[in-house]
Amino acid sequence: MKSVLQSRYLGCFSKMLDQSSNNEKLLQIKKRAAECIDCNLSKSRENVVFGSGDPNSKLAVIAEGPSAADNHTSFPFSGPAGNMLDEVLAANEITRAEIWLTNIIKCRAADQHQNGLKNRPPKITEIKACSKWLDNELTIIQPFVILCLGSPAAKTLIQSGFKITEERGIWYTDTRYSPFAIATYNPAYVLRQEGDDFMKLRSTIIDDIGKAKRKLSEANEYKRTTLF
């Protein structure tokens, strides 16, 4: 009995050390990212929006970039799209505290218009300038599954010619940062739809998150089969 309890204690202690280590590493990277001026987005941002969640999660959910709300709060998916993300995660009995949630760029991509800043897709130069922060995040976390929300994230992490309408929900294997990657629609895009289109796409996101969750159950078996 004593040896069993000792084993459980050591296992829990080891897990705590691993989590502390990842937390510390990510905190250091977050501090460095907050001072980044490697592209022009640093001139218009209010805050750098770094990833958040469980630093030891085997599921990384990655979208395009911060919204206006995120730019204000400094947290990813903190506006209406974040509310919807929470809903579709909850439909699969997942919370954002159990995943690593981040974006391919850490500053809001927006242009000045008459009524203020308006969101736009990130430029290739901006994605490249910000790639080191995403690289650091994913290298530390080492997710088993990456779920891309939207085409820009999928083009960055799966393949450059990715077409969301044709390739969402399809598994890609042995991508740069994870053994398995899949893409679905970004909740921000779904919120711009109406009626049946909205309901259909919302249901699609729920289904794709379910696929990602089920794939996580294969993680331990995958480690055993790829040990040598």
213, amino acid identity: K
Cα angle 85, 31, 122; round to 5: 50
Kindly report each contact of residues 158-163 with a partner whose C-beta sits within 8 Å and lies 24 or more positions away, as own/partner: 158/183
* 69-86 tens-digit pLDDT: 999 999 999 999 999 999
Q: What residues are paired with 61 via a beta bridge?
A: 101, 147
Give the pLDDT of residue 188.
95
pLDDT higher than threshold 50 for residue 1: no
What percent of the chain is modeled with pLDDT above 90? 80
Lowest mean pLDDT across 5-14, 94-103, 136-145: 5-14
Task: Kindly indicate the confidence band of residue 223, based on its pLDDT and cuts at 50, 70 and 90.
Answer: low
As a whole number of angstroms, the distance between CA 92 and CA 209 comes to: 7
| Nearest of 109, 42, 101, 41 to residue 77 by alpha carbon | 101
Q: What is the bridge-based pairing of β-strands 145-149 and 180-184?
A: parallel
Give the pLDDT of residue 9.
40
Lowest mean pLDDT across 15-19, 25-29, 57-61: 15-19
| Nearest of 57, 86, 215, 66 to residue 133 by alpha carbon | 66
Please give the radius of gyration of the chain, using alpha carbons only, rounded to the nearest integer.
18
Tokens 């506006």 belong to residue: 79
E strands of 150-195, at which residues?
172-173, 180-184
Residues in the chain: 228
